[in-house]
Amino acid sequence: MKYLEDIGMKARKAATVLNTLKQEEKNQGLRKAANALLTHETKILEANEADIILGKESGMSESLIDRLTLDHERVEGMAKGLLEVVALQDPIGEVMSMTNRPNGLTIGQKRVPIGVIGIIYESRPNVTADAFGLCFKTGNAVILRGGSDALHSNIAIVTIIREALEEAGLPPDAVQLIEDTDREVAREFMRLNKYIDLLIPRGGAGLIQTVVENSTVPVIETGTGNCHVYVDEYADFNMALDIIDNAKTQRLSVCNTCESLVVHSKVADNFIPLVYDRLTQKQIVFRADERARAICNDMEPATEEDYGKEYLDRLISLKVVDSIEEAIEHINFYNTKHSEAIITSKYENAMKFLNEIDAAAVYVNASTRFTDGSEFGFGAEIGISTQKLHARGPMGLLALTSTKYIIFGEGQIR
Instruction: List contacts with a second copy (CB under 8 A).
Output: 16, 19-20, 99, 101, 105, 107, 114-115, 193, 197-198, 212-213, 216, 218-220, 236, 239, 242-243, 245-247, 250, 332, 354-356, 358-367, 369-371, 375-377, 387-390, 392-393, 402-414
| Nearest distance from C-beta of residue 292 to a second copy, angstroms | 23
Q: Compare residues 326 and 356 and give the one whose CB is closer to a second copy.
A: 356
Q: Compare residues 13 and 31 and give the one whose CB is closer to a second copy.
A: 13
Q: Which CA distances in Å does 311 have to 22, 161, 248, 335, 340?
A: 45, 36, 11, 13, 16
Pairing verdict, β 258-264 and 384-385: unpaired
Q: Compare residues 87 and 389 and give the one whose CB is closer to a second copy.
A: 389
Cβ atoms 31, 86 nearer than 8 A: yes
Q: Compare residues 198 and 296 and give the one whose CB is closer to a second copy.
A: 198
Q: Compare residues 219 and 288 and give the one whose CB is closer to a second copy.
A: 219
Pairing verdict, β 339-343 and 227-231: parallel
| Nearest distance from C-beta of residue 152 to a second copy, angstroms | 33
| Nearest distance from C-beta of residue 362 to a second copy, angstroms | 6
Question: DSSP string covering 189-258, please?
Answer: HHT-TTT-SEEEEES-HHHHHHHHHH--S-B--B----EEEEE-TT--HHHHHHHHHHHHHS-TTSTTSE
Taking the C-alpha atoms of residue 195 and residue 118, their distance in angstroms, rounded to an integer, is 10
Task: Report the candidate in 248, 227, 246, 249 with the shortest Cα–Cα distance to residue 341.
Answer: 227
| Nearest distance from C-beta of residue 413 to a second copy, angstroms | 4
Q: Compare residues 260 and 371 and give the one whose CB is closer to a second copy.
A: 371
| Nearest distance from C-beta of residue 185 to a second copy, angstroms | 19
| Nearest distance from C-beta of residue 29 to a second copy, angstroms | 19
Determine the length of the chain: 414
b or e along 12-23 (b: 16 or more beta carbons within 10 Å of the residue's beta carbon)? bebbeebeebee
Q: Compare residues 269 and 375 and give the one whose CB is closer to a second copy.
A: 375
| Nearest distance from C-beta of residue 216 to a second copy, angstroms | 6
